């Protein structure tokens, strides 16, 4: 009996130490937004190129493909790093034809594993990286006909905003992790204001159903940079339309402010 009690107490101590050491990890939901512009190349097929983007954990284990553009056979032959890492898995990923023009690209991830439908299984908090591979030539030589880059970030309860250094074949990179439920306060009931559509392809409408005596209207991106601002004596009832179409896809915050009140909305831009 004494031995059983002793072992039971030992097990409790081991479990407590495991939890204290971080053995049980939080699983924070949120939204990762990654922007990148691949360098323009004219390879074997002019500007035609293949793209794959995926998520790995700190051990280098594949988590999830976010996009694979190009036919499956060609991608398996040209996106060599992606195939080796993912086993060609495209669960819950965007797939489609190869790209014929080089332009700014945006990718998102909500912190989930290979689960493809709701309810999603959120992976444990920790260090992750987003990897992008681009292939534009039959040679597949790393650095000339094909290249990869990656950005590390910490998925957790704190927001992350990064501007990684451009590389030879990948420029204009930004990365943000916005944990769910901590970025934007709830709207108060003192003002009847609607912001729509959300998500939006560019235009957002701010409907002041009742006169609201604010004097500052501002829209900021996830990095805290102001992309639109207007100051007036007051905003009366009616609809105000703002065009965000020239901005990259991602999360934006609409602020309507007076001397007494500050109201905020989160809007997702997805062209």
| Secondary structure of 9-26 as H, E, C letters | HHHHHHHHHHHHCCCCCC
d(CA 44, CA 49): 9
Per-residue model confidence as pLDDT tens digits over 70-110: 988 888 889 999 999 999 999 989 899 999 999 889 899 98
Q: Which residues contact 177 (CB under 8 A, 6 or more apart)?
A: 30, 31, 32, 153, 154, 155, 156, 159, 160
19 part of a folded domain: no
| CATH number, residue 226 | 2.60.40.3080
10 part of a folded domain: no
* Listed ranges 79-83, 117-121, 212-216; the one with the highest mean pLDDT: 79-83
Same domain, 226 and 110: no
Same domain, 166 and 207: no
Residue percentage of the chain with pLDDT more than 90:
41
Same domain, 102 and 129: yes
41 part of a folded domain: yes
Per-residue model confidence as pLDDT tens digits over 149-204: 999 999 998 889 899 999 999 999 999 998 875 433 333 334 567 888 888 889 99
Same domain, 41 and 160: yes
Same domain, 170 and 235: no
For residue 9, name the pLDDT band (cuts at 50, 70, 90).
Answer: low
Number of domains in the chain: 2
Q: Other CB atoms closer than 10 Å to residue 166's CB: what's the count?
A: 14
* Listed ranges 77-91, 190-204, 208-222, 229-243; the one with the highest mean pLDDT: 77-91
5 part of a folded domain: no
Q: Which residues constitute the domain of residue 76? A: 30-179
Are 119 and 29 in contact by the 8 Å Cβ rule? The answer is no
212 part of a folded domain: yes
DSSP E strand boundaries for 99-166: 105-109, 126-135, 146-155, 160-162
Q: Which of 179, 204, 224 is the last residue of a domain?
A: 179
79 part of a folded domain: yes
Q: What are phi and psi of 12, to 5 degrees?
A: -60, -45
pLDDT of residue 141: 84
């Amino acid at each position: 009996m004494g031995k059983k009690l002793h072992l039971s107490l030992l097990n409790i101590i081991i479990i407590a130490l495991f939890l204290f050491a971080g053995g049980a990890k939080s699983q924070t939901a949120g939204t990762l937004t990654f922007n990148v512009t691949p360098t323009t190349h004219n390879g074997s097929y002019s500007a035609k190129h293949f793209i794959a983007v995926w998520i790995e954990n700190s051990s280098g284990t594949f988590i999830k493909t976010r996009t694979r553009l190009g036919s499956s056979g060609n991608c398996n032959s040209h996106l060599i790093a992606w195939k080796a890492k993912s086993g060609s898995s495209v669960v819950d990923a965007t797939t489609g034809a190869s790209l014929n023009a080089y332009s700014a690209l945006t990718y998102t991830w909500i912190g989930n594993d290979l689960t493809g439908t709701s309810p999603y299984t959120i992976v444990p908090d920790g260090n992750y990286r987003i990897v992008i591979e681009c292939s534009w030539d039959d040679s597949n030589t790393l650095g000339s006909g094909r290249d990869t880059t990656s950005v590390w970030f910490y998925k957790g309860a704190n927001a992350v905003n990064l501007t990684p250094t451009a590389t030879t074949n990948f420029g204009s990179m930004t990365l943000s992790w916005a944990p769910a439920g901590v970025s934007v306060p709830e709207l108060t009931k003192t003002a009847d204001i609607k912001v729509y559509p959300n998500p939006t392809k560019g235009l957002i409408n701010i409907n002041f159903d009742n006169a609201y005596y604010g004097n500052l209207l501002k829209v900021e991106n996830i990095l805290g940079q102001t992309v639109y601002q207007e100051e007036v004596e007051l905003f009366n009832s009616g609809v105000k339309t703002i065009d965000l179409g020239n901005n990259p896809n991602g999360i934006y915050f609409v602020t309507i402010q007076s001397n007494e009140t500050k109201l905020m909305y989160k809007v997702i831009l997805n062209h």
